[in-house]
């Protein structure tokens, strides 16, 4: 889709981002490239290339002057140029660049403080035990949707001061938005637009309630956040709350599901964690490295430039293959080994630089509480039935489902 530049990439190895294996097993897609010493791979679907190495990806994330955020460009290249979903990407803090990003980040940081996140620890533990109580009664649980999704959803709703939302409705919204974020079909675009419109309407209603009656919660703090006489306008506020609710539980759902799946796959590491619960934090970091909740991200060249010796034209999309970077053998020793005590684990799963994930500390807290509580409450956790697959055609990496048999402690 950048035909003027694509000719330069004819000799590169190719990654087919339209193929299902790329989405379901990105680390396996990356492995032969990394082992062959490749730094980049061509992406014919977008007439561009992707960065594979940790140093190259982190340098790109740290260079907003030359590589801007994508906004709606990723979707525009697929012919999706209008509708509630695309409009959201154009004002979402995750997708915009300075000076707009600097202003939004400054305002939201005044509300989404480390103190407010730390205060959620007790709430997170309480919710985790409530979910374990229900699972213990059944001695079984479908972890991804009926446990891992509910924990961060209830935490972020409590933090924002939202009423307990219809969990099935929220599930439908987030599934539709997740499908819209990858290589969406026309059906997925229609569903994504409908879900975003309903999500926006829900948030607008909650904002109106809070304006009329402010409380000591994150939503009221976002409404009141002010920096040198500036505040979030109505559309920015709605987009921010949607982002916090969507990303604040969808990616963490996957984090929790992924770490439990890998512990089941590596029983020695699960036993190691049971023996030493203080490893919960490093186990979460290893899960983030091994199965980043977001497989890749993208940047747009602000000017003509060169990356890894290759020409890039202004306006061109460049893919940053975060999963490949997290398995770079030049950065991580024995990268395909899952190690709950891995040290010096500087993965790129939360991004880097000015766009480092706003909710990283909350996700880490929730992940550590989740795995600690599950192992504390259940002396045996076993998969049942045929294993599901990894999700496909969405950059939000997670298991489709994870059915477990549980033996209470």
Is the CB of residue 355 less than 8 Å from the CB of residue 94?
Answer: yes
SS3 369: helix
- The sign of the dihedral angle between the CA atoms of 148, 150, 153, 156 is negative
Spatial separation of the C-alpha atoms in residues 377 and 114, rounded to whole Å = 28
Q: For the chain, what are the domain ranges?
A: 3-408
Q: Which two tokens stand for residue 115?
A: 């103190």
Which residues are CB-neighbours of 9 under 8 A, at least 6 positions away? 42, 48, 49, 310
What pLDDT does residue 32 have? 98
Spatial separation of the C-alpha atoms in residues 6 and 89, rounded to whole Å = 26
Spatial separation of the C-alpha atoms in residues 15 and 28, rounded to whole Å = 12
Q: What order of strands is seen across the sheet that includes strand 403-408?
A: 140-142, 403-408, 378-383
Q: Which two tokens stand for residue 403?
A: 């059915």
Query: Mutual orientation of helices 150-160 and 167-180 as an angle, nearest 10°?
Result: 100
> What are φ and ψ of residue 132, in 5° steps?
-70, -35
Q: Which two tokens stand for residue 47?
A: 């007439």
Max distance between CA atoms of the chain, in angstroms, equals 63
Is the CB of residue 31 less than 8 Å from the CB of residue 336?
Answer: yes
SS3 71: coil
What pLDDT does residue 4 have? 42
Query: Of 247, 250, 287, 280, which is closest to residue 368 (Cα–Cα)?
Result: 280
Q: Give the residue ranges of DSSP H helices in 139-266.
A: 143, 150-160, 167-180, 186-212, 218-224, 234-265
What pLDDT does residue 66 have? 93
Is the CB of residue 117 less than 8 Å from the CB of residue 94?
Answer: no
Identify the H or E element spanning 268.
helix 267-275
Say if domain 3-408 classifies as CATH 1.10.630.10: yes
Which residues are CB-neighbours of 182 under 8 A, at least 6 positions away? 23, 393, 394, 395
Is the pTM of the predicted complex or chain greater than 0.75?
A: yes
The torsion angle over the Cα atoms of residues 117, 121, 127 and 128, rounded to 10 degrees, is 120
Say whether the peptide bond before residue 99 is cis (omega within 30 degrees of 0).
yes
What pLDDT does residue 8 have? 66
Could you list the pLDDT tens digit for every one of the 409 residues in the chain? Answer: 444 454 568 889 999 999 999 999 999 999 999 999 999 999 998 899 999 999 999 999 999 999 988 778 788 888 899 999 999 988 888 888 888 888 888 888 888 889 999 999 999 999 999 999 999 999 999 999 999 999 999 998 888 888 766 667 877 888 888 888 878 889 989 999 999 999 999 989 989 999 999 999 999 999 888 666 788 888 888 888 888 888 778 899 999 999 999 999 999 999 999 999 999 999 999 999 999 989 999 999 999 999 999 999 999 999 999 999 999 999 999 999 999 999 999 999 999 888 888 899 999 999 999 999 999 999 999 999 988 999 999 889 999 999 999 999 9
> What are φ and ψ of residue 157, in 5° steps?
-65, -40
Q: Which two tokens stand for residue 347?
A: 């993965």
Spatial separation of the C-alpha atoms in residues 403 and 385, rounded to whole Å = 7
């Amino acid at each position: 889709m950048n035909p003027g530049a694509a000719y330069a990439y004819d000799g590169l190895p190719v990654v087919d981002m339209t193929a299902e294996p790329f989405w379901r097993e990105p680390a396996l897609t990356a492995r032969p490239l990394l082992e062959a010493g490749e730094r980049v791979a061509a992406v014919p679907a977008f007439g561009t290339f992707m960065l594979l190495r940790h140093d190259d990806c982190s340098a790109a994330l740290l260079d907003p002057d030359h590589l801007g955020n994508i906004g709606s460009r990723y979707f525009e290249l697929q012919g999706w140029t209008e509708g509630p979903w695309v409009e959201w990407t154009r004002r979402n803090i995750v997708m915009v660049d300075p000076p707009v990003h600097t202003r939004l980040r400054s305002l939201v940081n005044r509300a989404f403080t480390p103190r407010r996140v730390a205060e959620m620890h007790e709430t997170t533990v309480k919710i985790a035990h409530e979910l374990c109580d229900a699972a213990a009664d059944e001695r079984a649980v479908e972890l991804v949707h009926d446990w891992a999704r509910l924990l961060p959803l209830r935490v972020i709703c409590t933090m924002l001061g939202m009423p307990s939302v219809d969990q099935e409705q929220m599930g439908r919204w987030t599934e539709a938005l997740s499908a819209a974020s990858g290589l969406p079909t026309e059906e997925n675009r229609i569903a994504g637009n409908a879900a975003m419109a309903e999500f926006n309407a829900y948030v607008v209603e909650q904002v109106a309630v809070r304006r009329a009656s402010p409380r000591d919660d994150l939503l009221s703090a976002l409404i009141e956040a002010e920096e040198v006489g500036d505040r979030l306008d109505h559309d920015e506020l709605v987009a921010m709350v949607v982002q916090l609710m969507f990303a604040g539980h969808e990616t963490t759902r996957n984090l929790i599901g992924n770490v439990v799946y890998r512990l089941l796959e590596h029983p020695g590491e699960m036993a190691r964690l049971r023996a030493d619960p203080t490893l919960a934090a490093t186990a979460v970091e290893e899960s983030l490295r091994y199965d980043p909740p977001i497989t890749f991200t993208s940047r747009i060249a602000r000017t003509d430039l060169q990356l890894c010796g290759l020409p890039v034209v202004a306006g061109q999309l460049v893919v940053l293959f975060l999963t490949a970077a997290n398995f770079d053998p030049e950065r991580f020793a024995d990268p395909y080994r899952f190690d709950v005590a891995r040290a010096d684990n500087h993965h790129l799963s939360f991004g880097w630089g000015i766009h480092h994930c706003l909710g990283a500390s909350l996700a880490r807290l929730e992940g550590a509480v989740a795995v600690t509580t599950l192992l504390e409450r259940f002396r045996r956790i076993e998969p049942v039935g045929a294993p599901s697959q990894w999700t496909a055609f969405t950059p939000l990496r997670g298991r489709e489902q994870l059915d477990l048999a549980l033996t209470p402690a």
